[in-house]
Chains A and B, each alone.
Chain A
C-alpha cells in the first residue's frame, strides 16, 4: 500500500509551503490591532470570503470521509452536499446574515450575549472552544497517520511540521491569512483532484459504464440496480438503500436539523462571512460558497463510487487495505485512488491537495478558537476593555497571537490523545457535535421571535444538549462493538445504521431545545427592551438593504435564485 513519491512531488509540496507561509509573511505588517488580527478588519471582498467559507468546510476529514462514504453509500452521499447544505446556506444568506452582520457581533457567542445574556454566551463559548480544539486535533492525527502509513513519513515529524506551518501563517497574518490561504487551498484542492476524477471516470467507461458496473454490486447486496447511482429514487424505506434512512429522515434530519445547525450557527464557517466588507457582501458569502459546494461531490464523492466499482473488478488490482479490526479501511480510499491513477508530478499535486485540505480545516478551527477565546472568554471574564482603544487593540492582538500558539499546542496534545485513546476522542467529538442543533433552535427563535428570553435560551441550549446526550446513551447502531457508539446508559433502541442514530440524536436535540425555549419564554420576563433588540430581531429591524444599486446577479437574492435553480437541476438529474 506504500506510495512512493519522487523529487518532483516533493518540490511541488515545498513550493506550496513557501506560498502559504509567504502569504502570512506579507500580511504581518497589516496586523496592527486585535480587530485586524481576529476579524480581518471586516474588509474581505465577497468572493474571497465565499471561497474561504467553503474551503474551511473542506478539511482533510471531510475529503477523506466523503470519498469513503461515496464508496459505502454511493450517490446517496451527495445528500450531504445538496439537500444537506444548499437550503441552509440560502437561508443563512438571506434571512440570518442581516442580523449576524448587522449586530456587529464579532462571534456567534457574542451574538448570543447581545441577543440574550451573559450565561448563554458563556455556555456556548466554552463548548465551542473545546470542540474546535478536539476537531483540529483529530484531523491532525488522521493526517499524520495517513502520511505515516502511506508515504512512510515519520508520524511525529509530519504532525509537527503540518501544525507549525499552520501556526506560522495564522500567527503572522491572523484571520486574513487564514482566509487568503483558504482561497489558495480551495483552488489547489480542486485542481489537485481533477486529474483523478477524469482518469478514474475514463477508466470505468464514463458515467454509463460506472452505472453498469455498479448494478450487479447493488443487486448482490439486495438493493435495486441503480441504488448507488441515484439519490432519492430508493429512499422509500430505510432498508432499500445503503444509508439506512428513509426520505423523510433525510429531509428532516439532514436537510433541516443537521444542516441548518451546522451551516447557520457554526462559528468556524460563519466567521468567514463576518469578515466580509459590507452587509451585502456578507449576505453573498454563503451563496458564493454554495456555487462550488454543489459541484464538490463530483470531485470527492464520485471517485469514492468509482472505487467501489474498481474493488469488484479483479483486473484493476485496486485494493483498499484493511483496518485494525479487519474491515476495509475506507479512509484510505482517496489516497489509494491517487496511487492507482496518478504518475509522479500530478501525484505530488494530489498529495498537496490533501495537505491543503487539512490546513484549510485546521486554520479554520484555529482562527475561530482564537476569536472566541480572546473576545468571549478572555475579554469578557478575565480582562475587560479599559476604554483606551489604542492600547486595548494592541493588548488583545498580543493575546490573540499567544492564543494562536496555545490553541495549536492544545490541538497537538489532543492529536496525541486521539492516538492513544482514539475511542475517547471519537466519543468526545460526537458529544460536542451535539451543540449545533440546539444552537440553531435558540438563534432562530431569537432572530424571529422578539419575546424569546435569556433564561429560556440558556436552558433550551443546555437541555437540548443534555437530552441528545441521553438519547445517544440509550440507543445503539446495529453491530456496534464499543460504548463509544452509544448505549452507555442502557440499550433501549437499536438503529439499523449509525447514520440513522446521528440523524435522530440531532432531531431530538432540536425538538427539545425548541420546546424548552418556547415554554420558558412564555413564563419568564423579557429583560431586554425593544431598543436593545433593534438589529438583532426581525420584527424590530428596519429593512433597509444596501444592495439597491447592484445589478440583479450581484444582489444576494439574484444569486440565491441562481443557486436554487442549479440545486434543483442537479437533484432532478441524479434523482
Chain B
C-alpha cells in the first residue's frame, strides 16, 4: 500500500525546516525566548524534527531501492 514513513518523514522535514528558519529569524528577540528560559527552542526542536524526518525518509527510500 503506502509506506507511512514517507508522509511522516516529509511532514517532519518540512515543519523542521520551517521552525528552524523561524528560530534563526527570531534569534535576537530575547523577550520572546524569555518564556523558554532564554533557550531558542525553535532552532533546537526544528533541527531535531528535521533529522527525525530525514531518518524516516532515508529508511523509506532505502527499502524502495532494495525492492
Tell me whether A488 is interfacial, beta carbon within 8 Å. Answer: no
> Contacts A26-B2, A183-B4, A349-B45 given: A342-B15 contact, CB under 8 Å?
no
The reply on B67 being an interface residue by CB < 8 A is no
User: Which B residues are in CB contact (< 8 Å) with A187?
Assistant: 8, 12, 52
The A interface is mostly helix, strand or loop, or mixed, namely helix
Q: Is B60 among interface residues, defined by CB-CB distance under 8 A?
A: no
Residues of A within 8 A of B8 (CB): 183-184, 187
Residues from chain B with Cβ under 8 Å of A12 in the complex = 15, 18-19
- Report the nearest B residue to A26, measured CB to CB: B2
Partner of B18, one of A8, A27, A343: A8
Chain B residues near A346 (CB-CB < 8 A) = 19, 36, 41-42, 45
Interface size class of B (residues with CB under 8 A): 20 to 34
Q: Is A22 an interface residue (CB 8 A)?
A: yes
Task: Determine the chain B residues whose CB is within 8 A of the CB of A23 once the complex forms.
Answer: 2, 4, 7
Contacts of A176 in B (CB 8 A): 1
Q: Is A429 an interface residue (CB 8 A)?
A: no
Chain B residues closer than 8 Å to A184, beta-carbon distance:
4, 7-8, 11
Query: Would you give the shortest CB distance from B64 to chain A, in whole angstroms?
Result: 15
A422 in contact (CB, < 8 A): no
B21-52: contact bitstring with A at CB < 8 Å (1 yes, 0 no)? 01100100000110111010110111011001
Beyond A180-B7, A345-B41: 5 further Cβ-contacts under 8 Å? A22-B7, A187-B8, A345-B19, A345-B22, A346-B19
Say yes or no for A233: interface residue by CB 8 A criterion.
no
* Interface pair A340/B41, CB less than 8 Å apart: no
Distance to closest chain A CB from B50 (angstroms):
11
Asked if A164 is at the interface (CB within 8 A of a chain B CB), the reply is no
Query: Among the listed A15, A48, A183, which residue makes an inter-chain contact with B15, where contact means beta carbons less than 8 Å apart?
Result: A15
Q: Which residues of B contact A203 (CB under 8 A)?
A: 37
Q: Is the CB of A345 within 8 A of B23?
A: yes
Across-interface contacts of A43 in B (CB, < 8 A): 1
Q: Give which listed residue, A8, A183, A194, A341, contacts B36 with CB less than 8 A.
A: A341
Q: Is the CB of B36 within 8 A of A27?
A: no
A202 touches B15 (CB 8 A): no
Please tell me if the beta carbons of B19 and A343 are within 8 angstroms of each other in the complex: no
| Contact partners of B44 in chain A: CB under 8 A | 195
Given contacts A342-B41, A343-B42, contact A349 B15 (CB under 8 A): yes
Q: Check if A566 is an interface residue, CB within 8 A of chain B.
A: no
A345: nearest chain-B partner, CB-CB: B42
- Assembled-state Cα–Cα distance A30/B3 (Å): 13
Instruction: Evaluate contact between B2 and A27: CB separation under 8 angstroms.
Output: yes
Q: Smallest CB–CB gap between A25 and chain B, Å?
A: 10
Residues of A with C-beta under 8 A to B15:
12, 15-16, 349
Q: By the criterion CB–CB under 8 Å, are A19 and B33 in contact? A: no
Q: Sorted from nearest, which 5 A-B pairs have the closest CB atoms?
A: A345-B42, A19-B11, A180-B4, A345-B22, A195-B41
Chain B, range 3-17, C-beta contacts under 8 Å to A: 4, 7-8, 10-12, 14-15
Interface residues on A, range: 20 to 34
Asked whether any CB of chain B lies closer than 8 Å to the CB of A11, the reply is: yes
Closest Cβ–Cβ distance, residue A42 to chain B (whole Å) = 12
Q: How far is the CB of A429 from chain B (nearest CB, A)?
A: 32
Given A15-B15, A195-B41, A349-B45, are A27 and B1 neighbors across the interface (CB < 8 Å)? yes
- Inter-subunit contact B11/A194 (CB<8 Å): no
Does A557 reach chain B (CB closer than 8 Å)?
Answer: no
Query: For chain A residues 182-233, which have a beta carbon within 8 Å of chain B?
Result: 183-184, 187, 191, 194-195, 199, 202-203
**A8, B11: Cβ atoms closer than 8 Å:** no
A341 touches B12 (CB 8 A): no
In the complex, are the beta carbons of B32 and A191 less than 8 A apart?
A: no
Q: Does A344 contact B (CB under 8 A)?
A: yes
| Assembled-state Cα–Cα distance A484/B52 (Å) | 46
Q: Which residues of A contact B4 (CB under 8 A)?
A: 23, 48, 180, 183-184
CB distance from A364 to the nearest CB of B (A): 17
Q: Can you list 13 A-B pairs, Cβ within 8 angstroms, ordered by A?
A: A19-B7, A27-B2, A43-B1, A48-B4, A187-B52, A194-B45, A199-B37, A340-B35, A341-B35, A341-B36, A343-B35, A344-B26, A345-B41
Complex: A342 Cα to B8 Cα, angstroms: 23
Q: What's the Cα separation between A500 and B59 when bound, in Å?
A: 48
| Interchain CA distance A346-B23 in the complex, whole Å | 10
Chain A nearest CB from B51 CB (Å) reads 11
| Given contacts A26-B2, A30-B1, A345-B42, A199 and B36 within 8 Å (CB-CB) | yes
Q: Which residues of B contact A48 (CB under 8 A)?
A: 4
Closest to A8 in B: B22
Report the bound CA distance from A341 to B38 in whole Å: 10
Give the chain A neighbours of B52 by CB distance below 8 A.
187, 191
A342 touches B36 (CB 8 A): yes
Question: Chain B's nearest CB lies how many Å from the CB of A254?
Answer: 33
Question: Given the known A-B contacts A12-B19, A48-B4, A180-B4, are A195 and B45 also in contact in the complex, defined by CB atoms under 8 Å?
Answer: yes
The residue of chain B having its C-beta at the shortest distance from the C-beta of A199 within the complex is B36
CB distance from B57 to the nearest CB of A (A): 14
> Which A residues touch B35, using CB under 8 A?
340-343
Distance in angstroms between the alpha carbons of A443 and B32 in the assembled complex: 55
Query: Chain B residue with minimal CB distance to A187?
Result: B8
Q: How far is the CB of B65 from chain A (nearest CB, A)?
A: 19
Q: Which residues of A contact B23 (CB under 8 A)?
A: 345
Give Cα distance in the complex from A194 to B39, angstroms.
14
Chain A residue at minimal CB-CB distance from B8: A184
A43 to B3, CA, bound (A): 12
Interface residues of A in 386-437 (CB under 8 A from B): none
Complex: chain B residue closest to A180, CB-CB = B4
